[in-house]
Structure 1
Amino acid sequence: MIITDVETFIVGNPWKNWLFVKLHTKEGVYGIGEGTLNGFAKTVEAAIHELKHLYIGMNVHDVETIALKMTRDVYSDGGQIQGSALAAVESACWDIIGKEANQPLYNLLGGRCHEKLRCYANGWYRGPRDPQMFHEKAKAVVDKGYTALKFDPFGNAWRTVEKRDFQTALEIVAAVREAVGPDVDILIEGHNRFSVHTALQFADAMVPYKPAWFEAPVPPQNISSMVEVAKRSPVPIACGEDYYCREQFAELLKHDAVHIIQLEPQYLGISASKQIGGMVHAHNGVIAPHSAQGPICSVICAHLNMATPNFFIHEIFDEFNEPWEEHVLIPPMKVENGYLQPPEGPGLGIDLNLEEIAKHPYHPGHWIPLFKQGWEKRQKLD
């Protein structure tokens, strides 16, 4: 299966422009992938086309070599942009390999390790930063059958917070815990916001509400800061969605401080993601891949999670997005009573609905401004 061309499609989803690819082969079989990166849809799209001279003419089975050509051989560190371009192409290769083998992707990655995938809801709290709003919407999430949900109660906080904002964040956490009861897991999203000191203050204050994790409490660049928080926090720390190479995970894992790893297949590709899952397994940890990009990313994570013995929990943003999202993929992937099965068709098991995609063009205001007041409302920016 020789790669002959690549097409790209940007879908104007209001909270984040999605970037999809369609990779063509000489044999007429095509694969799809995703390269979504908040705020950089057109930039990643340009990278996919600028680097295509490195993978056009390659055999889709040579995914490791394609990855090296698109990263090592370029001899530049393009970070998440380069990683997103690689992941889009490499995922499409795996889709084609699965179609050729007539097997779902998870069977190519090791087969079924789980009967079904437990999911947590994200993106459900669109609205004002108010404890009552969080309380009401959390109840609605649990009514859908979810046994876990994640949220960011911190507004537009950055590094430090004033006492009133600190108290508001705790009131929101308390409101959610009261709404869902003691048996539902609540996961607190930090979005890389805080200094070490502030993160530890919040971690200590959250203890009465028994969160299952405190995610990305400090910026990811200084791994020593993440390790310090993880070792001192009474709440489990989760992180990893920002990292785009194996070496960053190796540096994090060698400290044996963080044991919930949220690797991002969108920046790594499927092959590296599977390898990192094994690295985490060797450190007695679990993976909970970041799956808040677009719907193809969610499908990829479902296949990866099904084939990973140390999988913990699957992130679902799709159900709480725009209603038209369920028409973007054929067939749509559905959560049932808080659990998920990956598609059973060959490869990824899904295809693009180009007619629906054409209805939602790119818009520069489609991104999440996490440090802007009122970002939780997820309103389009001009």
Structure 2
Amino acid sequence: MKIQEITPIVLSSKEKGAATWASTMIVVKVETTDGMVGYGEAVPTLRVSQVFSALKQVSKGFMGQEVERVERNYHRWYTQDFYLSRSFESATSLSAIDIALWDLLGKELGAPLNKLLGGKFRDEVPVYANGWYKDCVTPQDFSVRAKEVVGKGYKGLKFDPFGAYFDWIDERGLKQAEERVKAVRESVGDEVEIMIEHHGRFNANSAISIAKRLEKYNPLFMEEPVHHEDIEGYRKYRSHTQVRVAMGERLIGLKETLFYLREGLVDILQPDITNVGGVTVGRKVASMAEAFDVEIAFHNAFGSIQNAVSIQLASVIPNLVILENFYDWFPKWKRDLVRNGTPVENGRVKVPDRPGIGVEVDEELLEELRADPVPLEVSDEPVWVVGGTWRGY
């Protein structure tokens, strides 16, 4: 079965999500010579037009190749792109195509992805809520919304309590952050896991001050407490804190991941299947983390195809701790795109057994939502934050 056509499709709608980046998807449709279709997903963020263009170029390295040779196809592009290890656009394009090829392989064999990867380690995947705190600013805002989340059956929730602080934080910011975290902890109780999202934006000294203020609330982890590339900052943070560190959503390859593991900078790894190298590399990253006694909590924040493949991969690995989930806070069209194929019930998702990535894509809706790959508007509130939270009180 050979690859005949690869089509990048930008999706958008008037119905927006919890953040600017959540209101767009980049879907990759791969068609074969015998009429089969597979789907993957690439990362939008602020680079919708750039990723769309990159997909057009990366696709040329796959045309006419055999779908079943997923490992060889990955290395074919690795051979071609001299800057793959430094190019987010190339890495997410490669990842999206790789996901679509695994989807096709599963459909060809009539098996869900989990069976191709060794079978289920678990029948249901535990998930935590993200995106739930849109427009939350005061401790009361966070408290009320957190109770609603737990009322839906979630046993874990993640949030960013830092407002508009970036790189450094002062006493006022520390006080506000602590009040928000305290409000959430008191509203959900001690049996629910809370996770503190830093969005990789602080220097080491500020991150250490944050950890000392918030560790008493027993967070499951502190996510990206310092800038991703700040290796010395991570080392300093590790030597001055006792909290668990989660990071990895910005990793774009196997060997880059190895560096953070070998240096002992991470307790819970968060690779993103849509930019680390698709299923082909994502499975290797999880196994490598297992060898370092590091647990996995896949980053899973963009769209419903990414969510579907993340559930499949999360179901087969022994070292999963929990999976990120935006599903209930997606704009409705993202759920409709996969015919609501991955609902969350009591904080868990039953692993779908449909062939491929486990969901059926609504092709009519796909065409209806098709949009031009235009640059996103830039405002004072960055696109990576949950909307309406970039402020103090």
Normalised-by-shorter TM-score class: over 0.9
**Residue 178 of structure 2: aligned partner:** 170
Aligned partner of residue 208 in structure 1, secondary structure: helix
Q: How much has 1:37 moved relative to structure 2?
A: 2.7
Distance 1:378 1:9 in 2: 30
One-letter amino acid of the counterpart of residue 64, structure 1: E
| In 1, Cα distance between equivalents of 2:347 and 2:338 | 20
Give how far 1:365 is off. Answer: 3.9
What does residue 287 of structure 1 align with?
Answer: 296
Question: 1:191 is matched with which residue: 183, 196, 199?
Answer: 199
Q: What is the CA-CA distance between 1:162 and the residue it aligns to?
A: 2.6
Are 2:252 and 1:241 aligned? no
- State the distance in 2 between where 1:111 and 1:32 align: 21
- The aligned counterpart of 1:377 is 388
Q: 1:39 aligns with which of 32, 46, 66?
A: 46
SS of 2:80's equivalent in the other structure is coil
- Structure 1: segments with no counterpart, 5+ residues: none
1:113 equivalent in alignment to 2:124: no
Report the Cα offset of residue 330 of structure 1. Answer: 3.0
Q: TM-score, normalised by structure 2?
A: 0.91
**8 Å CA contact 2:156, 2:194 repeated in 1:** yes
Structure-2 residue corresponding to 1:10: 10
- Report the counterpart of residue 181 of structure 1 in structure 2: 189
Residue 62 in structure 1 maps to residue 69 in structure 2: yes
Q: State the match for 2:260 in structure 1.
A: 252
Is the counterpart of residue 361 in structure 1 residue 374 in structure 2? no
After superposition, give the CA deviation of every residue in 1:163-184 in whole Å (9 maximum; x if it has no partner): 2122111111011101101110
Calculate the TM-score normalised by the size of structure 1.
Answer: 0.94
Query: Are residue 201 (structure 1) and residue 212 (structure 2) matched?
Result: no
C-alpha contact 2:129 2:325 (8 A) present in aligned 1: yes
Q: CA deviation at 1:375?
A: 5.6
On the 8 A contact 2:133/2:386 being kept in 1, the answer is no
Mark the CA change 1:226 to 1:184 in structure 2 (over 3 Å): closer, same or farther: same
> Does residue 313 in structure 1 map to residue 322 in structure 2?
yes
Pairwise CA distance, 1:325: 2.5
Q: How far is 1:18 from its partner?
A: 0.7
**Residue pair 1:156, 1:374 contacting (<8 A) in 2 also:** no
- Asked if 2 retains the 8 angstrom alpha-carbon contact of 1:155 and 1:375, the reply is no
Q: For residue 157 of structure 2, what is the aligned residue in structure 1?
A: 149
Preserved contact between residue 249 and residue 271 of structure 2 (Cα < 8 Å) = yes
The percent of aligned pairs where both chains have the same amino acid is 29
Are 1:338 and 2:347 an aligned pair?
yes
Shift of 1:367: 8.1
> Mean alpha-carbon deviation: is it higher for 54-63 or for 353-362?
353-362
Partner of 2:60, secondary structure, is: helix
For residues 79-105 of structure 1, give each alpha carbon's deviation from its aligned partner in whole angstroms, at most 9, with x where no partner exists: 221111001111000001101111100
In the alignment, is the contact (CA less than 8 A) between 1:18 and 1:294 conserved in 2?
yes
CA contact (8 A) 1:54 1:70 kept: yes
Q: CA shift at 1:51, angstroms?
A: 2.1
1:360 Cα deviation after fit = 6.5
Quickly say closer, same or farther: Cα 1:367–1:97, change in 2 above 3 A.
farther
Runs of 4+ in 1 over 6 A off after TM superposition: 366-369
Aligned partners of 1:227 and 1:258 also within 8 Å: no
From the superposition, tell whether residues 110 and 264 of structure 1 become closer, same or farther in structure 2 (CA, over 3 Å): same
Unaligned regions of 5+ residues in structure 2, if any? none
Within the candidate set 103, 128, 135, 2:143 is matched to: 135
Partner residue, 2:98: 90
Superposed CA RMSD in Å reads 2.1
User: C-alpha deviations, 1:228-272, integer Å up to 9, x for none?
Assistant: 323432211100111101111111111234220001111121111
Q: Match for residue 122 of structure 1? A: 130
User: Letter of the aligned partner of 1:310 in structure 2?
Assistant: N
Partner amino acid, structure 1, of 2:302: Q
Q: Is the 8 A contact 1:261 1:280 kept in 2?
A: yes
Query: Comparing 130-139 with 34-43, which one deviates more in the overlay?
Result: 34-43
- CA shift, 1:377, in A, is 2.1
Q: Which amino acid aligns with 1:210?
A: N
How far apart are the structure 2 equivalents of 1:23 and 1:302? 21
**Matches of 1:80 and 1:51, distance apart in 2:** 12
Q: Give the aligned residue type for 2:61.
A: L
Aligned-partner residue type, residue 322 of structure 1: P
Aligned to 1:322: 331
Task: For residue 52 of structure 1, report the CA deviation from its aligned partner.
Answer: 2.0
CA distance in 1, matches of 2:87, 2:344: 32
Report how many residues are paired. 379
Q: State the distance in 2 between where 1:222 and 1:209 align.
A: 26
Aligned to 2:227: 219
Cα distance in 1 for residues equivalent to 2:2 and 2:241: 50
Stretch deviating more after TM superposition (337-346 or 72-81): 72-81
* CA distances 1:58-93 after superposition (whole Å, capped 9, x unpaired): 011111222122233221235221111001111000
Secondary structure of 2:371's aligned partner:
coil
